[in-house]
């Protein structure tokens, strides 16, 4: 279990975009298996679903964050982050992409803003109430927060 930042996300954080700017209007791709060793590499596993606002179609249903508070960047409270299963399988990891119009998460890139993490029912970087994804079944991401501990 490890959150992995792409080189593009690290550059954005250190530049003028910041993490919120780099990841707002993004999407999360849910995959089977173990996450890749780097968020710069192409995706692995089977795509199980794409998290968007109310499971809507991209473009137009990109997810976003509320303003940071107390060192935490949290999903926009007014948005329902949802996806419908596009394949059957067990969710193992996710890739958050900051620009789904130009990044479907499948290719290798050192310039795109991405964040990878593990999925579990408990103890994952992202927890889902049900990791057994079924084609056509709706799923919800109720909580998604990013915090950076510097001390």
33-47 residue pLDDT tens: 999 999 999 999 999
Q: Label residue 64 by pLDDT band (50, 70, 90).
A: very high
Judged against a pLDDT cut of 80, whether residue 1 lies above it is answered with no
In the chain, what percentage of residues exceed pLDDT 70?
A: 99
In SS3 terms, 43-111 reads as CCCCEEEEEEECCCCCCCCCECECCCECCEEEECCCCCEEEECCCCEEEEEEEEECCCCCCCCCCCCCC
Answer yes or no: are the C-beta atoms of 129 and 101 closer than 8 Å: no
Reading the block at residue 38, the tokens are 């780097």
Q: How far apart are CA 104 and CA 15, in angstroms?
A: 23
Reading the block at residue 3, the tokens are 């959150």
65-79 residue pLDDT tens: 999 999 999 999 999
Q: Label residue 150 by pLDDT band (50, 70, 90).
A: confident
Judged against a pLDDT cut of 70, whether residue 17 lies above it is answered with yes
pTM for the model: 0.97
* Per-residue confidence (pLDDT) for residue 126, from 0 to 100: 95
């Amino acid at each position: 279990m490890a959150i992995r930042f792409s080189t593009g996300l690290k550059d954005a954080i250190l530049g003028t975009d910041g993490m919120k700017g780099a990841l707002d209007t993004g999407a999360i791709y849910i995959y089977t298996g173990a996450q890749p060793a780097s968020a710069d590499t192409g995706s692995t596993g089977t795509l199980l679903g794409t998290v968007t606002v109310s499971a809507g179609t991209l473009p137009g249903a990109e997810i976003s964050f509320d303003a940071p508070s107390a060192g935490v960047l949290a999903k926009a409270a007014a948005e329902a982050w949802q996806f419908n299963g596009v394949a059957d399988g067990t969710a193992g990891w996710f890739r958050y992409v900051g620009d789904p119009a130009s990044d479907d998460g499948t290719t290798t890139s050192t310039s795109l803003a991405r964040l990878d993490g593990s999925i579990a029912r408990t103890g994952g970087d992202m927890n889902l109430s049900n990791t057994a994804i079924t084609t056509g079944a709706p799923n919800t991401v109720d909580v998604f927060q990013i915090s950076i501990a510097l001390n």
